[in-house]
Amino acid sequence: MPEPNFDFDLLTIGAGSGGVAASRRAGEYGAKVAICEASRVGGTCVLRGCVPKKLLVYAASYAEHFADAAGFGWEVGEPRLDWAKLMHAKQTELARLEQIYRRLLRDSKVELIEGHARLIDAHTVEVAGRRVSAKYILIATGGWPELPSNLPGIEHAITSNEALELAELPRRLTIVGGGGYIGVEFAGIFNAAGSQVTMLLRGDNVLPGFDLEVRERLADQIRARGIDLRTETGVRSIENQVDGSLSVMLDHNEAIEADVLLYAIGRRPASAGLGLEPLGVHVGRDGGIVVDERNRTSVANIYAVGDVTDQVNLTPVAIAEGRALAETLFHHRPTTVDRRFIPTAVFSRPPVATVGLTEAQAREQHETVDVYCSSFRPMRATLSGRDERTSVKLVVERTTDRVLGAHMVGEDAPEIMQGLAIAIRCGATKHDFDTTIGIHPSAAEEFVTMRFPVPRDE
């Protein structure tokens, strides 16, 4: 039973990964829970991010499989992608997933209130024409793609939201912010699907913040696929042309043409319009709600999880934060999320996956660091003839022998890295890696067969 004077024990705003995880776990512990959602149930991950993106990555991967098949003796006719059919299949799958999310909420006895929620006071929310009160409020409204505010012609650009819904495959796609997660992922999808892709990066390479070798290897592979990857290039203006295409004026006065211009320059926490500031909920300059290690905001009974806090913007982190909150509030088990060694993957072509420290970070934090690298032609590429290399790297603290980081560019990297993340989180040493028997023949075995560190000037 909720405490007297409150309609609910927990009221969550936002039915995405974090909000649903927290609400369901709280409901399973007997709390009376409601969740408000202004749009469809499922949030960015299910509806506008991870899931539709990965479906398109799968679709794109067939282009390479068809091309590679000949080397293995297959005679395949001229493959043709029916984009409209793919989009329809993807929509059907998302609708199915949304229904599953709704059912899961019902099964956990969480009441779904559909409408835009706004806080009236620290315990009351106005939503769908009614006022609802709760002992605890959880903000889990996620984020939204950012666009520059004052760039001439920016209204002609789209974001990842629309890129996942394009009715037609663009002949020419230009991606601004092309070096980020979304940029490299969408470049891979559309390049494989048959678009001419141009990536415009304002920095000097893809994936800022990732290990340098990973960045260089991925950039090589992106270029090898025929993508026009341009670094240190900005956009001055965008103009719509009579034939419906776009003329994109670059900052060195070159104009390039595109049928679709995708901006992927980061995402902004969706904290506006919730009525937070008048209540004293502290919001950072970038819009992220400020929380402590238990996801509590500056107002004692109001919490926030996931991308709206702008900390680690990854679905599994939002889910972990949501569940930890339910443990803390409704299961007498104060829980914090362990943020060390969070693995991450980028579903570029080829994919990238990483856990722990980059070499540069390790050298900043530790005096003696060894790195072990291997770059090889994956077995599939021998018969297919594809010009492809897989790269793996381990970063090791020499005195303790502890593995501080693992990095990979190549097929199956995300699948491999999940397992390595467990080992590294458990404190595995290089000796543990060396004495682990490999799985042969696999790319993963390279991680346990690298014998000598790469010579580096120290």
* C-beta closer to ligand NDP: residue 236 or 386: 236
At closest approach, how far in Å is the CB of 68 from ligand NDP? Answer: 24
313 near ligand NDP, judged by CB under 6 A: yes
Please spell the DSSP secondary structure of 177-209, one letter per residue.
TTTSHHHHHHHHHHHHHT-EEEEE-SSSSSSTT
**Cβ atoms of residues 46 and 315 within 8 Å:** no
Residues touching ligand NDP, count (CB under 6 A) = 22
Among 180, 306, 322, 343, binds ligand NDP (CB under 6 A): 180
Query: By rule CB under 6 A, what string of x and - marks binding of each residue 136-155 to ligand NDP?
Result: ------------x-------
Tokens of 177: 């912010």
Based on the shown chain and the rule CB under 6 A, indicate whether residue 189 belongs to the binding site for ligand NDP: no
Q: Which of 267, 323, 393, 402 binds ligand NDP (CB under 6 A)?
A: 267
Binding mask 101-140 for ligand NDP (x = CB under 6 A): ----------------------------------------
Residue 410 engages ligand NDP in binding (rule: CB under 6 A): no
Per rule CB under 6 A, is residue 188 in the interface with ligand NDP? Answer: no
Site for ligand NDP in 206-225 (CB under 6 A): 208
Query: Which residue among the candidates 123, 282, 366, 440 is catalytic per the annotation?
Result: 440
Region of 81-89, 176-184, 191-199, 424-432 interacting with ligand NDP (CB under 6 A): 176-184
CB 4: neighbour CB atoms within 10 A? Answer: 5
The β-bridge relationship of strands 196-200 and 172-176 is: parallel
Q: How far is 409 from 206, CA to CA, in rounded Å?
A: 13
251 and 151 in contact (C-beta within 8 Å)? no
- 97 by DSSP, 3-state: which? helix
Would the CA dihedral through 234, 240, 242, 246 be positive or negative? positive
DSSP-based three-state secondary structure for 242:
coil
CB of 455 to ligand NDP, least distance (A): 30
Look up residue 68 and give its DSSP letter: H
Considering the complex, state which of residue 148 and residue 334 has its C-beta at the smaller distance from ligand NDP. Answer: 148
Single out the segment in contact with ligand NDP by CB under 6 A; choices: 189-197, 289-297, 327-335, 342-350. 342-350
Q: Which stretch binds ligand NDP (CB under 6 A): 67-75, 258-266, 386-394, 403-411?
A: 258-266
Strand partners, 250: 235
**Running DSSP on this structure, what letter comes out for residue 278?**
G
Q: Using CB under 6 A, pick the residue from 29, 190, 347, 447 that binds ligand NDP.
A: 347
- Closest-CA residue to 372 (of 350, 357, 387, 394): 394
DSSP 299-350: STTEEE-GGGG-SS--HHHHHHHHHHHHHHHHSS-------TT--EEE--SS
Handedness of CA 128, 132, 134, 136 (dihedral sign): positive
Within 10 A of 20 (CB to CB), how many other CB atoms are there? 30
Backbone angles phi, psi at 141, to 5 degrees: -90, 0
x/- letters, 316..335, toward ligand NDP (CB under 6 A): --------------------
Virtual torsion, Cα 227, 232, 238, 239, nearest 10 deg:
-70
Q: Which residue is nearest to ligand NDP (CB)?
A: 180
As measured in angstroms, the least distance from the Cβ of 391 to ligand NDP is: 18
Reply yes or no on whether 282 is catalytic.
no
Q: Is 196 in the site for ligand NDP (CB under 6 A)?
A: no
The least CB distance from residue 197 to ligand NDP, in Å, is 15
Q: 137 or 184, CB closer to ligand NDP?
A: 184
The binder of ligand NDP chosen from 101, 136, 144, 181 (CB under 6 A): 181
Task: Report the interface residues with ligand NDP, using CB under 6 A.
Answer: 148, 176-177, 179-183, 185, 202-203, 208, 264-267, 313-314, 344-347
Active site residues: 440
